[in-house]
Amino acid sequence: MSTASTPRASRPALDSLAEGAPQWTAEGGDWQDIADQIATRDEHDRLEHDRIVVNMGPVHPSTHGVLRLLLEIDGEKVTEVRVGTGYLHTGIEKNIEYRTWVQGEAFVTRMDYVAPFFQEVGYALAVEELLGITDQIPEKATIMRVVLMELNRIASHAIAIGTGGNELGGSTLLTIAFRMREHILRAFEMVSGLRMNHAYVRPGGLAQDVPEGFSDFVRSIMPMVKNDLGELRALLLENPILKDRFIGIGEISLAHGLALGLTGPCIRAAGYPLDMRKIQPYCGYETYDFEVPTYERSDLYNRQLVRFDECDQSLRIISQALDRLDAVTARGDDPSNTTMVADPTIAWPARMAIATDGQGQSLEHVREIMGTSMESLIHHFKLVTQGFQVPAGQVYRTVEHAKGVLGVHAVSDGGTRPYRVHFRDPSYSNLQSLATMGEGGMIADLVPTLASIDPVLGGVDR
Q: Is 422 exposed, middle or buried (0-12, 13-18, 19+ CB in 10 A)?
A: middle
Asked whether residue 1 is assigned to any structural domain, the reply reads no
Instruction: Report how far residue 423's alpha carbon sits from residue 421's, in angstroms, rounded to the nearest whole number.
Output: 7
The mean pLDDT value for 314-327 works out to 93
Domain membership of residue 398 (yes or no) is yes
What residues have CB less than 8 Å from 184, skipping those under 6 apart? 151, 152, 154, 155, 221, 225
Q: Facing residues of 65 across strands? A: none
Which range (86-100, 227-241, 343-357) has the least confidence? 343-357
More confident residue, 184 or 68: 184
Residue type, position 1, single letter:
M
Kindly tell me the number of DSSP H helices and DSSP E strands found in the chain. 19, 10
Four-residue CA torsion sign, 161, 165, 170, 171? positive
284 part of a folded domain = yes
Whether residue 287 lies inside any domain: the answer is: yes
Tell whether the model's pLDDT for residue 329 goes beyond 70.
yes
Could you list the residue range(s) of the whole structural domain that residue 116 is in?
91-346+388-460
Provide the residue type at 461 as one letter.
D
pLDDT score of 335: 73
> CA 421, CA 94: separation in Å to the nearest integer?
8
Q: Where are the alpha helices (DSSP H) in 260-407?
A: 265-268, 276-279, 300-329, 363-367, 374-385
Other CB atoms within a 10 A radius of the CB of residue 202 amount to 27
Mean pLDDT score across all residues of the chain: 82
Question: In angstroms, how far is the first alpha carbon of the chain from the final one?
Answer: 50
Contact 109, 197 (CB under 8 A): yes
Residue 266 vs residue 48, higher pLDDT:
266
- In the chain, the amino acid numbered 415 is G
Instruction: Check residue 22 and give its pLDDT.
Output: 63
Within 10 Å of residue 75's Cβ, how many Cβ atoms?
9
The continuous run of DSSP H or E covering 69 comes out as: strand 68-74
Enter the pTM of the model: 0.83
**Between residues 75 and 50, which one has the greater pLDDT?**
75
Which has more pLDDT, 173 or 319? 319
Helix 214-236 to helix 300-329 angle, to the nearest 10 degrees? 170
Instruction: Read off the amino acid at residue 462.
Output: R
Cβ contacts of 280 within 8 Å, gap of 6 or more: 398
Classify residue 78: in a domain, yes or no.
no
Give the pLDDT score at 268. 92
> Which pLDDT score is estimated for 20?
61
Q: Tell me how many domains the chain contains.
A: 1
The C-alpha atoms of residue 140 and residue 175 are separated, in whole angstroms, by: 35
129, 196 in Cβ contact below 8 A?
A: no
312 occurs within a structural domain = yes
Is the pLDDT confidence value at 129 over 60? yes
Tell whether the model's pLDDT for residue 217 goes beyond 70.
Answer: yes
Q: What is the CATH number of the domain that holds 281?
A: 1.10.645.10
- Confidence category of residue 9, pLDDT binned at 50, 70, 90: very low
- Does any domain span residue 363? no
Residue 167 confidence (pLDDT) = 74
Residue 20: phi and psi, rounded to 5, are 90, -5
26 within some domain? no
- Residue 38 CA to residue 46 CA, distance in Å, equals 9
